[in-house]
């Protein structure tokens, strides 16, 4: 499943870039994400993703790896996790882009999400909607956090 | 008295007293045990089959109080105080039920895997409606799937049995 | 093989509610089990306790009072399809119930369980919305009514609170000139698209309610489609059906999946709306 999101943030690019690497605050913007930890600064992180669709709950202990990094412009990352209780795996390929537009920063990301295993039995449609929701909320939370601190 | 092979010391045990193929049985089951497993594994009646395991195909059909249920998705304790009929209980004193006879005479089965469920469902149909139209028969039997016959012979078998059973009655 | 759980067998709605409140997410209401047990077999959900509600009395009756049919949440689909009251007063609902799943699911599955599990590919919710049904719920100390059109929040998610129990479904009996129909379509085990329409035919077409289900995450009433038919003459309403169908299709929030592409489902919604209107008239 592919998703593309863009959000306009009333904040300078440097501030947004810094925010991204402030792991605790950044992870706090992802709905259902908790216990963010830095394993290797700038390279590897871990977090736990908890998502619910009705009565179906998943908990993915997730490892995030930063693959590419271009200062103030671009991040390429990969995340993966498995919920052994429910027999499902999650894979996320993320491309984050920042560009300036006057006094605003456009934060864009392209996400490729794959859910494998039993959870897929819920149906592609349901999962896609949920993933879309999560990414939307995430983008909004980042915007709100950054614009709120002024 | 049938018992399961393994029991946890803290397991919740539910006494189930029920009539099985006309005879009273008293067993104990844990809440999570499925009727199909109890009937096949504990009671040794393997006519009912586990096929789709999601209540869609009808191969696990049993009659509880004369009504068809998916044994694969029925908790065993639910038959307490009820009567259960499996395919093994259909023939009386070694004499085949008209439905069984008809399936043989009219070629209503090939591999036979769906057949126990098919015959039990047909019995429930004819008990409810001794003279069904083909449309009524198809609607009732819609939930029993056969991969071999293409259904034509099944319909013929059931209609033939229905006729015989109406004459007898 | 299911994972072990403890069986609770309360005797009253208050007890059910108390158990749900006490044990929270580790407990679940269990009635017919036709949806719940499947999810448990798949390993998609796990519960420490199942609360068997079938010993609670008074929840499996169908009663007709002035102007409405009240259906107990524990009524099985089989009870509903064979109910004389439904045949007489709510024939569209009787027909729907006759075609739910298969004869075995209808035998043990309950209308309450169907509505509360809120599986997207289900039939009853869609028609109950079009019929203006109210869902009566109870918790330990209080009762409330939830309109069917407000009950389905999302896929597998209803407006029920954690310790709240659905007890009855109240359906207004249509007037003498009331017409309604539900049509569904699908080749897989569960329906892919379901459309319900209800209206009064007295000169023109009034009191229109249109609902679409199965194609999206939850059944939805489509006011925008209703507006295109409301108050029109029968002929004008018929002419507007194509547009109403397109509007209803888009409102379905259809997602492309094994049941069909988004465009296909939207198209089928339009087809079914037209046919349902004709069926309701006949």
Residue C162, chain B, CB below 8 Å: the answer is: no
Candidates A54, A57, A122; nearest CB to C157: A54
Query: Is the pLDDT assigned to residue B143 strictly greater than 70?
Result: yes
Residue extents of the structural domains in chain A: 2-148
Highest mean pLDDT among B133-137, B164-168, C202-206: B133-137
Residue A119, chain C, CB below 8 Å: the answer is: yes
How far is the C-alpha of C135 from the C-alpha of C59, rounded, in Å? 13
Suggest the residue from C35, C44, C159 to mutate for an interface test with chain A (most A CBs closer than 10 A).
C44
pLDDT digits (tens, 9 = 90+) for A96-128: 999 999 989 999 999 999 988 888 877 778 888
How far is the C-alpha of C272 from the C-alpha of C269, rounded, in Å? 5
Taking the CA of residue B143 and the nearest CA in chain C, the distance in Å comes to: 5
Residue extents of the structural domains in chain C: 6-52, 62-172, 181-281
Contact list in A for residue C39 (CB cut-off 8 A) is 55-56
Contact list in C for residue A85 (CB cut-off 8 A) is 46
A147 CB-near residues (< 8 Å, 6+ apart) = A9, A10, A11
Query: Is the pLDDT assigned to residue B7 strictly greater than 70?
Result: no
> pLDDT grade, residue B9 (50/70/90)?
low
**Nearest-5° Cα angle at A82, A76 to A87:** 145
Rounded average pLDDT over A67-74:
94
C242 CB-near residues (< 8 Å, 6+ apart) = C270, C274
Is the Cβ–Cβ distance between C139 and C119 less than 8 Å?
no
> Which residues of chain C register pLDDT less than 50?
none
| pLDDT recorded at residue A27 | 84
Query: Is the pLDDT assigned to residue B1 strictly greater than 50?
Result: no
What are the CA-CA distances from residue C160 to residues B150, C11, C137, C279 (Å)?
Answer: 45, 21, 8, 33
Contact list in C for residue B61 (CB cut-off 8 A) is 104
Q: Which residues pair with C196 in a beta bridge?
A: C182, C211
Contact list in B for residue C105 (CB cut-off 8 A) is 55, 70, 143
Question: Between B and C, how many CB-CB pairs are < 8 A?
Answer: 67
Closest C-alpha to B19, from B51, B62, B52: B62
A2-148 topology per CATH? Alpha-D-Glucose-1,6-Bisphosphate; Chain A, domain 4 (3.30.530)
Residue A72, chain C, CB below 8 Å: the answer is: no
Neighbours of chain B (3+ CB pairs under 8 A): C
> pLDDT grade, residue B139 (50/70/90)?
very high
Contact list in C for residue B69 (CB cut-off 8 A) is 104, 107-108
pLDDT digits (tens, 9 = 90+) for B71-128: 999 999 999 999 999 999 999 999 999 999 999 999 999 999 999 999 999 999 999 9
Taking the CA of residue C84 and the nearest CA in chain A, the distance in Å comes to: 35
Contact between chains at B31 and C107 (C-beta distance less than 8 A): no
Among all residues of chain C, which has the CA nearest to that of A120?
C44
| pLDDT recorded at residue C214 | 96
Residue extents of the structural domains in chain B: 14-89, 98-168
CATH code given to domain C62-172: 3.30.465.10
Q: Which residues pair with A83 in a beta bridge?
A: A88
Q: Is C8 helix (H, G, I), strand (E, B) or coil?
A: strand
Taking the CA of residue A44 and the nearest CA in chain C, the distance in Å comes to: 30
| pLDDT recorded at residue C264 | 96
Answer positive or negative: Cα dihedral of C93, C97, C101, C102.
Answer: negative
DSSP classification of residue C68 = E
Contact list in A for residue C156 (CB cut-off 8 A) is 53-56, 126
Domain B14-89 belongs in CATH node 3.10.20.30: yes
Quick one: C40 exposed, middle or buried, by C-beta within 10 A (0-12, 13-18, 19+)?
A: buried
CATH class of C6-52: alpha beta
| pLDDT recorded at residue B6 | 53
Candidates C43, C45, C217; nearest CB to A55: C45
| pLDDT recorded at residue B153 | 98
Q: What are phi and psi of C231, to 5 degrees?
A: 75, 0
How far is the C-alpha of A7 from the C-alpha of A149, rounded, in Å? 17
pLDDT digits (tens, 9 = 90+) for A39-65: 999 899 999 999 888 899 989 999 999
C181-281 topology per CATH? Enolase-like; domain 1 (3.30.390)
- Helix, strand and coil content of chain B, in percent to the nearest 5, comes to 40, 15, 45
| pTM of the model as a whole | 0.93
Taking the CA of residue A5 and the nearest CA in chain C, the distance in Å comes to: 19
Query: Is the pLDDT assigned to residue B5 strictly greater than 60?
Result: no
Contact between chains at C118 and A118 (C-beta distance less than 8 A): no
How far is the C-alpha of C87 from the C-alpha of C90, rounded, in Å? 6
Domain B98-168 belongs in CATH node 1.10.150.120: yes
Contact list in B for residue C96 (CB cut-off 8 A) is none
Ranking A84-88, B131-135, C101-105, C278-282 by mean pLDDT, the lowest is A84-88
């Amino acid at each position: 499943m592919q998703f593309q999101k863009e959000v306009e943030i009333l904040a300078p690019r440097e501030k947004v870039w810094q925010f991204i690497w402030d792991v605790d605050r950044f992870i706090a913007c992802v709905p259902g994400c908790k216990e963010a930890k830095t394993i290797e600064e700038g390279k590897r992180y871990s977090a736990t993703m908890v998502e619910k669709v009705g009565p179906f709950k998943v908990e993915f202990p997730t490892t995030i790896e930063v693959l590419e990094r271009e200062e103030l412009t671009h991040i390429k990352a990969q995340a993966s996790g498995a919920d052994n209780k429910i027999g499902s795996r999650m894979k996320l390929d993320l491309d984050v882009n920042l560009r300036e537009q006057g006094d605003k920063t456009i934060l864009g990301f392209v996400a490729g999400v794959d859910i494998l295993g039993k959870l897929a039995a819920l149906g592609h449609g349901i999962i896609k909607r949920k993933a879309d929701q999560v990414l939307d909320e995430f983008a909004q939370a980042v915007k709100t956090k950054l614009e709120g601190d002024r | 008295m049938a018992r399961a092979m393994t029991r946890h010391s803290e397991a919740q045990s539910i006494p189930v007293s029920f009539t099985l193929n006309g005879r009273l049985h008293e067993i104990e089951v844990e809440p999570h045990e499925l009727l199909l497993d109890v009937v096949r594994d504990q009671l040794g009646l393997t006519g009912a089959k586990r096929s789709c395991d999601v209540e869609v195909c009808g191969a696990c059909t049993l009659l509880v109080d004369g009504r068809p249920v998916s044994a694969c998705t029925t908790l065993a304790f639910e038959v307490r105080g009820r009567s259960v009929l499996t395919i093994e209980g259909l023939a009386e004193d070694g004499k085949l039920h008209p439905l069984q006879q008809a399936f043989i005479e009219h070629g209503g089965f090939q591999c036979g895997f769906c057949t126990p469920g098919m015959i039990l469902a047909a019995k429930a149909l004819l008990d409810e409606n001794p003279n069904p139209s083909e449309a009524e028969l198809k609607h009732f039997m819609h939930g029993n799937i056969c991969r071999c016959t293409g259904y034509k012979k099944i319909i013929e078998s059931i209609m033939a049995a229905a006729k015989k059973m109406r004459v007898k009655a | 093989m299911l994972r072990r759980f403890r069986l609770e067998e309360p005797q009253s709605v208050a007890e059910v509610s108390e158990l749900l409140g006490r044990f929270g997410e580790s407990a679940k209401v269990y009635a017919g089990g036709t949806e719940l047990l499947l999810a448990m077999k798949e390993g998609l959900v796990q519960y420490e306790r199942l609360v068997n509600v079938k010993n609670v009395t008074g929840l499996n009756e169908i009663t007709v009072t002035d102007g409405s049919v009240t259906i107990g949440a524990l009524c099985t689909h089989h009870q509903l399809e064979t109910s004389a009251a439904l045949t007489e007063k709510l024939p569209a609902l009787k027909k729907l119930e006759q075609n739910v799943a298969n004869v075995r699911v209808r035998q043990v599955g309950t209308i309450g369980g169907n509505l509360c599990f809120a599986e997207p590919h289900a039939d009853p919710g869609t028609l109950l919305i079009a019929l203006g049904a109210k869902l009566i719920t109870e918790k330990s100390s209080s009762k409330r009514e939830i309109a069917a059109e407000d009950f389905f929040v999302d896929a597998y998610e209803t407006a029920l609170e954690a310790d709240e129990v659905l007890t009855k479904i109240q359906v207004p009996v249509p007037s003498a000139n009331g017409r309604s129909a539900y049509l569904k379509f699908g080749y897989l085990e569960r329906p892919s698209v379901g459309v319900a329409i209800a209206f009064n035919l007295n000169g023109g077409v009034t009191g229109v309610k249109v609902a679409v289900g199965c194609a999206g995450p939850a059944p939805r009433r489509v006011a925008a489609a209703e507006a295109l038919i409301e108050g029109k003459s029968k002929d004008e309403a018929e002419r507007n059906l194509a547009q109403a169908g397109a509007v209803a299709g888009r409102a379905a929030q259809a997602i492309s999946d094994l049941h069909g592409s988004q465009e296909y489902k939207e198209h089928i919604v339009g087809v079914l709306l037209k046919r349902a209107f004709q069926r309701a008239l006949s």
